[in-house]
């Protein structure tokens, strides 16, 4: 029997799972070994307490403002919009809040971000297993945690992993849409009637954060568009489980759409963008796809590079390769839309971290 999935209004999406931790009865869960049950239960209790603790929220808001520098800007991309015609294109410049992120062999590919992390006090341990990308980093991290759970905990920067990690990460990134909602009201006096919120999707944390305040709106008013990594144009490899119709599988302790072969082995993925190069995706995005609240598509490496070139040519904005996937979709749809349509792209990363790849692919540009 096919399950009828439905979104609930007035309840944060991160909380719309069942007792077993599944969204829509089939995505998510907590596929963990016995030894991790206790630390996961403790973390779940602690999170439940802290998210309602006024002193903790005050401290969180203090750090958002004074350390991260929020709110990040919402800017109109006037030149790009005029060049393309059609809809107005705006950017929420979340990259202003960069604290660094890395993905194993990307210690080299993404050196400026690793330097930022070290400056913030992090020790970076390289991973030499598998393809040495994000998927292997998460596997290695979970392996370490299983063997050292008496003195170590896991912290993951995307809405993936066992249920509680999806919730904690989504709760944290939701700051983006809280800011955006206020900024829209300041800019337009109300929430405009035709909005499209476009975000790249790797694990799905920035997209969830960008959308969470707007999920209850009618999709005719606010359309949510997720853009995955289509990989190189001539390659069969991609990292687009939602838009290329992958089957459901288990990865990193949760059920989601996962790029896999016929035997259920996880596929290698390929993408010019380190952050999107991941074969699985958050269970909450699987739920948004199956309930049809969000639309998912993909951009190829070449589409993303072209979008990066176009945005940097017309605007004082330097989107990294991840949001360049989202800009590729904005550039594609804007000319067909009316002038009163507001497209907002989450420009979630700065291309400083991609300088070596960009130099290699675009030469002197
Ligand atoms: C700049 C940037 N954008 C997007 C992503 C994709 O991750 P997610 O889909 O969880 O936002 C990453 C991942 O590391 C990233 O570094």
Instruction: Report the separation in Å between the CA atom of 342 and the middle of ligand 1, taken as the mean of its atom positions.
Output: 23
Q: What is the 250 CA–ligand 1 centroid distance (Å)?
A: 21
- What is the 3-state composition of the chain as percent helix, strand, coil, each rounded to the nearest 5? 45, 15, 40
Q: Is 65 inside a domain boundary?
A: no
Q: How many domains does the chain have?
A: 1
Sign for the pseudo-dihedral over CA of 276, 77, 215, 41? positive
Atom 16 of ligand 1, nearest CA residue = 275
pLDDT the model gives residue 8: 98
Q: What is the pLDDT of residues 106-124, one digit of tens each?
A: 777 778 888 888 888 888 8
Residue 15 lies in a domain: no
User: For position 128, which CATH number holds?
Assistant: 3.40.50.1100
Residue 356, in any domain of the structure: yes
Find the 47 Cα to ligand 1 centroid distance in Å.
23
Span 148-196, pLDDT tens digits: 999 999 999 999 999 999 999 999 999 999 999 999 999 999 999 999 9
Distance (Å, whole) CA 228 – CA 301: 11
Pairing of strands 195-200, 342-346: parallel
Tokens for 162? 């066992």
**Ligand 1 atom with the shortest distance to the CA of 281:** 9
Tokens of 235: 């390659």
Q: Which of 165, 239, 275, 355 for a ligand 1 pocket mutation test, highest count of atoms within 8 Å of Cβ?
A: 275
pLDDT digits (tens, 9 = 90+) for 266-312: 999 999 998 999 999 999 999 999 999 999 999 999 999 999 999 99
Q: Give CA–CA dist 2/258, Å, rounded.
A: 20
- Domain-located, residue 335: yes
Range of the domain at 229: 20-58+70-362
How many angstroms is it from 109 CA to the middle of ligand 1?
15
User: Contact at 8 Å (CB) between 202 and 278?
Assistant: yes
The residue whose C-alpha atom lies closest to atom 14 belonging to ligand 1 is 275
CB 63 within 8 A of CB 70: no
Name the burial class of residue 20, with classes exposed (0-12), middle (13-18) and buried (19+) by CB atoms within 10 angstroms of its CB: exposed
Closest among 206, 228, 336 to 277, alpha carbons compared: 228
Q: Give the mutation target among 98, 133, 205, 279 for probing the ligand 1 site: most ligand atoms within 8 A of CB.
A: 205
Q: Is residue 239 part of a domain?
A: yes
- Count Cβ neighbours within 10 Å for each residue of 143-158 and write b for 16 or more, e otherwise: eebeeebeeeebebbb
- Whether residue 86 lies inside any domain: the answer is yes
Residue 207 Cα: closest atom of ligand 1: 11
Q: Is 131 among the domain residues?
A: yes
List all residues 6 or more positions away from 269 whose beta carbon is below 8 Å from its beta carbon: 131, 133, 135, 229, 231, 237, 238, 239, 259, 277, 278, 279
Distance 17 CA to ligand 1 centre (A): 24
Residue 8 lies in a domain: no
As for ligand 1, residues whose beta carbon falls within 6 Å of it are 101, 158, 200-207, 275-276, 320, 322, 348-349
Report the percent of the chain where pLDDT is more than 70. 97
How confident is the model at residue 248, as a pLDDT?
98
Band of pLDDT at residue 133, cut at 50, 70 and 90: confident
Distance (Å, rounded) from C-alpha 256 to C-alpha 239? 13
Tell me the CA end-to-end span of the chain in Å, nearest whole number: 55
């Amino acid at each position: 029997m096919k399950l009828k999935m439905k979104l609930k209004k007035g309840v944060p999406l991160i909380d719309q799972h069942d007792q077993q931790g599944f969204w829509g009865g089939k995505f998510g869960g907590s596929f963990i070994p016995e030894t991790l049950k206790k630390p996961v239960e403790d973390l779940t209790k602690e999170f439940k307490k802290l998210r309602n603790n006024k002193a903790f929220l005050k401290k969180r808001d203090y750090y958002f403002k004074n350390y991260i520098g929020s709110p990040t800007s919402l800017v109109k991309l006037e030149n790009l919009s005029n060049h393309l015609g059609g809809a107005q294109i705006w950017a929420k410049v979340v990259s202003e809040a960069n604290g660094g992120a890395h993905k194993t062999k990307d210690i080299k590919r993404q050196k400026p971000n690793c330097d930022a992390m070290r400056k913030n006090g992090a020790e970076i341990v390289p991973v030499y297993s598998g393809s040495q990308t994000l998927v292997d980093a998460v596997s290695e991290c979970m392996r370490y945690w299983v063997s050292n759970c008496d003195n170590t905990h896991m912290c993951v920067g995307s809405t993936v992993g066992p249920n509680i990690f999806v919730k904690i990460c989504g709760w944290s990134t939701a700051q983006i849409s809280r800011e955006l909602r206020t900024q829209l009201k300041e800019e337009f006096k109300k929430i405009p009637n035709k909005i499209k919120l476009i975000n790249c999707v790797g694990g799905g944390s920035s997209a969830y954060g960008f959308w969470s305040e707007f999920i209850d709106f009618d999709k005719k008013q606010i359309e949510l568009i997720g853009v995955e990594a289509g990989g190189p144009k001539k390659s069969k490899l991609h990292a687009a489980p939602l838009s290329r119709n992958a089957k459901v599988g288990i990865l990193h302790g949760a059920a989601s759409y996962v790029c896999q072969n016929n035997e259920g082995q996880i596929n290698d993925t390929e993408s010019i963008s380190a952050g999107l190069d991941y074969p699985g995706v958050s269970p909450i995005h699987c739920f948004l796809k199956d309930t049809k609240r969000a639309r998912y598509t993909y951009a190829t490496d070449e589409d993303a590079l072209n979008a990066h070139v176009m945005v940097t040519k017309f605007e004082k904005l330097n989107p990294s390769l991840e949001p360049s996937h989202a800009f590729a979709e904005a550039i594609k749809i804007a000319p067909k839309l009316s002038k009163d349509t507001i497209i907002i792209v989450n420009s979630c990363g700065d291309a400083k971290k991609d300088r070596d790849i960009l130099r290699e692919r675009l030469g002197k540009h």
